[in-house]
Amino acid sequence: MPAAEPGREPAPQRGDAAGDDRARYLRHLVIPEIGPEGQRALGRASVLVVGAGGLGSPCLFYLAAAGVGRLGVVDCDVVDISNLQRQIIHSTADIGHPKTVSAAAKLRALNPGIEVVEHRLRFGPETAAELMAEYDVVVTAVDNLPTRFFLNDACVLCGTTLVEAAILRFVGLATTIHGGETACYRCLFPEMPAEGTVASPAEAGVFGPVAGVMGCIQATEVIKVIVGAGRPLYDRLLQFDALEMAFEEVAVQRDPACPVCGEAPRITDLTTSARGLGLTP
């Protein structure tokens, strides 16, 4: 997919390697795989991060630091003291405040030259199409299965690149999906597990640094996709085990029987997806 919307010219302060931000991005500019062209691509790009929690915190910080021109932050929650063990974008002073407000303030302070858009809402069937149309890449940083499955379906149906990660206890998983062209989340998990069969992060716990590792991997994947560097996690599932301090990679093939990207999909629109996931009345 293109790194940015055709015809949209970046403001001079957004990743313009020839402008005042040259010093800010110097460590990128000297990397051959990024350089001035890659930095300009970052400045033109727009990324939607769905969730400003454990995964979203490090991912958003590094995307802002890298000079991604427009960052959208989606979250409908407020900061709770139990978040602070891993959601490093928030502080004690932010308790009770909307996560989008807290996150946006930190990102603007880190890099005033980017645009941060707050979306204080739940990503769902009423908001998905409009949000997806505004961004080049989408990041899954959620902790609930219905939204995770719906994000996958929306990106496949819209042909959008999705950078996916999940965490539980000491383990993290990550993959990158080019909607409609690579294996998707449902190629791995065709149907959402029955309620109560999979423990949530709130029930099972999350080792805080695992969120940092996986959120940084997501930021890395986003930047690689935008600048066209390296080999994204297409058709691959990366697993991180913090207890063993080990990474394992599993090859993933696109499933011809996948309900959303297969040869005869039964999920062909967002309404069907949302209904099947219980996201609509």
Contacts of 11 (CB under 8 A, 6+ apart): 69, 113
Residue 8 has pLDDT above 50, yes or no: no
pTM: 0.92
3-state secondary structure of 83: helix
Tokens of 207: 């080792």
* Cα angle value 225/227/229 (rounded, 5°): 75
CATH homologous superfamily for the domain 45-276 = NAD(P)-binding Rossmann-like Domain (3.40.50.720)
Domain ranges of the chain: 45-276
H or E element: which one contains 172? strand 171-178
Instruction: Give the pLDDT score at 103.
Output: 98
What is the distance between the alpha carbons of residues 83 and 121, in angstroms, rounded to a whole number?
Answer: 18
Residue 3 has pLDDT above 80, yes or no: no
* Segment 135-163 mean pLDDT: 96
What is the distance between the alpha carbons of residues 92 and 138, in angstroms, rounded to a whole number?
Answer: 28
Residue 225 has pLDDT above 50, yes or no: yes
Mean pLDDT, the chain, integer: 92
